Amino acid sequence: MTPLTRAGASVALLLALGLTGPARAQFERQPPPSGPPADARPAILEEVKIDEKLGASIPLDTPFTDWRGEPFTLRRAFDGKKPVVMALVYFNCPMLCGLILSGAAKAMRQNGLELGKDYQAVTISFDPADKPAAAAERRRGYLQSMDKSDRGEEWPFLVGPASSSRAVADALGFYYRKDPANRDWAHMAAIFLLTPDGKVSRYLYGIEFPPKDFRLGLVEAGGGRVGTSFDRLLLTCYRYDPASRKYTPYAYGFIRIGGLLTLAAVAALLGRLFWGERARARQALSAPRPSPLAGPPSGREA
């Protein structure tokens, strides 16, 4: 409420109560109500953010424990060939983390590339209270939603000490904090696309990840080593727009493609004309010619 609005409300209250004279003066001398403005941002949220660090390397030798209770370092998920989808969540999250992982699973199911073959995925809990049993339960559910068995090695779910998850989060620019009031963790909604050697390639925000953006992000993170030639062509015509946080048409890319197509059409036309002319020349050279010693044609032939 603005000062002008508060003043108007005070006048209205005075009129309603019929406060005049000394009573009105006493009312006006009362201090304004204390406390932060209604639209003030909670202090905890000032520390919850994402600072994009494109090209930064994450610590691949950071120790974790996997869903089976066995030691696991991130390097095992990065084979130098496949890009990696990473999510930082906690397994007792009442709502947001489940939505993030459900959106990621949906994008993995619909983007056309195959988990484990074309790319890898890793989920890390930043809550040190989470245990391997919770990781196994969550992993089983999301793999089943993708019609995949949980007996394979793809999409490891990891838990570990606060120092391990914090080291990875700091490398990603992902800052979270525990709310002392309700004991929940405050954090942003995003997943991270990493190159095969562990460098940050792209941030995808929200809880829904369009399959086109998800696939193009993986092709980009993989340096063109995953996907098809058409995917690489699309990356020429699409660029990631930080404002809309989506891959959007890139005008210069379409101009380049149009120019190449025009050049190819002109080259094909010139080649057709050139080879057609050569064929006619060869045909003319191979045609029989009359001998110069032969007499004039007979009357019958004439």
- The answer as to whether 96 is a domain residue is yes
Please indicate, yes or no, whether residues 105 and 147 belong to a single structural domain of this protein: yes
Higher pLDDT, 292 or 58: 58
Domain interval for residue 152: 46-224
Q: Is pLDDT larger for residue 45 or for residue 23?
A: 45
Q: What pTM was estimated for this model as a whole? A: 0.69
Q: Are residues 212 and 74 in the same domain?
A: yes
On whether both 215 and 89 belong to a single domain, the answer is yes
- Overall domain count for the chain: 2
- Asked if residue 87 and residue 55 are part of one domain, the reply reads yes
114 plus 181 within the same structural domain? yes
> Are residue 82 and residue 214 in the same domain, yes or no?
yes
Are both 66 and 215 inside the same structural domain?
A: yes
- Tell me the two tokens of residue 106: 């949906």
Residue 117 — pLDDT band, cuts 50, 70, 90?
very high
| CATH at residue 166 | 3.40.30.10
**Residue 11: pLDDT over 50:** no
Q: Specify the amino acid at residue 50.
A: I
Residues 6+ apart with CB under 8 A from 84: 77, 78, 119, 120, 121, 122, 193, 194, 195, 196, 198, 221
Task: Give the model's pLDDT for residue 296.
Answer: 56
Residue 20: the pLDDT is: 42
Is the pLDDT at 253 greater than 90? The verdict is: no
Q: What is the pLDDT of residues 150-208, one digit of tens each?
A: 999 999 999 999 999 999 999 999 999 998 888 899 999 999 999 999 999 999 999 99
Q: Report if residue 29 sits inside a domain.
A: no
Whether 32 maps to a domain, the answer reads: no
In terms of domains, do 218 and 102 share one?
yes
Are 124 and 268 part of one and the same domain? no
Judged by average pLDDT, the poorest of 39-53, 65-79, 105-119, 155-169 is: 39-53
**One domain for residues 254 and 192:** no
Using pLDDT thresholds of 50, 70 and 90, give the confidence band for residue 225: confident
Query: Are both 138 and 263 inside the same structural domain?
Result: no
Alpha helical stretches, state H, 126-241: 132-145, 162-172, 211-221, 229-237
Q: What is the pLDDT of residue 298?
A: 55
Q: How many alpha carbons lie under 13 Å from residue 118 in its C-beta half-sphere? A: 21
